[in-house]
Amino acid sequence: MKTVSVYGDSLLKGVSLVGNRYTVCTRKAADFARTHGIELLNRSYFGATVEKGLQRLSRDIADKAPLGEYTVLEFGGNDCDFDWAAVAANPAGEHLCKVPPERFSQLMKAAVEKVRAAGGKPLLTTLPPIDPDRYLTWICRGGLSRERILQWLGDLNAIYRWQELYATLVRSLSESCRVPLVDLREAFLSRRRMDGLLCADGIHPTDAGHEVILSAFERFLMTAEA
């Protein structure tokens, strides 16, 4: 049985939005792992950035926790996020995301190197796309001003483009460090319709979206084992 460890955020934790509550479904991933003879060590958690993920990875390696055949590194969704309340309060000001692009790339590279130094094989993933309109509606649900946030953004699709940048950074790292990549973004965008793949918050996958994610990993396994 192969062992695969996963360090990421809510995406690979299996989180979906049901009604107005986030729920975690591990059944699909468990079924996938059982079908492919994988012992899955999922160390992802809601809200994780690459900074927090690298801390957890470092601690696990120091404690000699098993990494397995592959160590999946999936970050960027929280790293690229802003303090939207601060943006709405001061749309003329300068605001930084949680982990700016240059630091994100540096920390992702550090995570790759740490996995390799521990004798593991890193595996990167890109971010699925977001629905900017749903996402902005979601973050404004508690009363934040959509107009003031849009004033700072310049246009609605700036949210999409900014999040896309982090997927581009992961692809670049995959190429420069020769790390295998599971391109989740491509898997979503290649679908003719995406309206049923993302939840009402515009960022978390629905059950159908999680199936797309697992299908992308299945294609990778089939290629790796060929």
Q: Give the model confidence (pLDDT) of 49-104 as tens digits.
A: 999 999 999 999 999 998 989 999 999 999 999 999 999 999 999 999 999 999 99
* pLDDT exceeds 60 at position 222: yes
Cα–Cα distance list, 157 to 116, 131, 136, 150, 164 (Å): 37, 9, 10, 10, 10
Q: What is the mean pLDDT of the chain?
A: 95
Token look-up 């595996």 returns: 123
Q: Give residue 226's pLDDT band: very low, low, confident or very high (50, 70, 90).
A: low
- Taking 90 as the threshold, does the pLDDT of residue 48 lie above it? yes
What percentage of the chain has pLDDT greater than the value 90? Answer: 87
Three-state SS at 62: helix
> Cβ contacts of residue 211 below 8 Å, gap of 6+?
28
Q: What is the DSSP letter of 31?
A: H
Domains and CATH numbers, the chain: 2-220 (3.40.50.1110)
- Output the pLDDT for position 130: 96
DSSP assignment of 64-108 equals T---BSEEEEE--TTTT---HHHHHH-TTS----SS-HHHHHHHH
Backbone angles phi, psi at 108, to 5 degrees: -65, -40
Single out the residue of 107, 110, 157 nearest to residue 132, CA to CA: 157
CA distance 43 to 52: 11
- Give me the pLDDT at residue 76, please: 98
> In the Cβ-directed half-sphere of 9, how many Cα atoms lie within 13 Å?
23
Write the CB contacts of 127 (distance below 8 Å, at least 6 apart in sequence). Answer: 11, 76, 77, 163, 164, 166, 167, 170, 184, 185
Residue 192 has pLDDT above 90, yes or no: no
**DSSP helix/strand/coil, 20:** coil
204 pLDDT higher than 60: yes
pLDDT digits (tens, 9 = 90+) for 138-164: 999 999 999 999 999 999 999 999 999
Q: What is the pLDDT of residue 223?
A: 83
Strand 15-18 to strand 21-24: parallel, antiparallel, or no bridges (unpaired)?
Answer: antiparallel
Burial of 18 (0-12, 13-18, 19+ CB in 10 A): middle
Beta carbons of 127 and 77 less than 8 angstroms apart:
yes
* pTM of the shown model: 0.95
Examine the pLDDT at 43 and tell me if it is beyond 70.
yes
pLDDT of residue 28: 86
Share of the chain above pLDDT 70, in %: 99
pLDDT of residue 225: 64
User: What span, in angstroms and rounded, lies between the C-alpha atoms of 185 and 163?
Assistant: 11
In eight-state DSSP terms, residue 202 is S
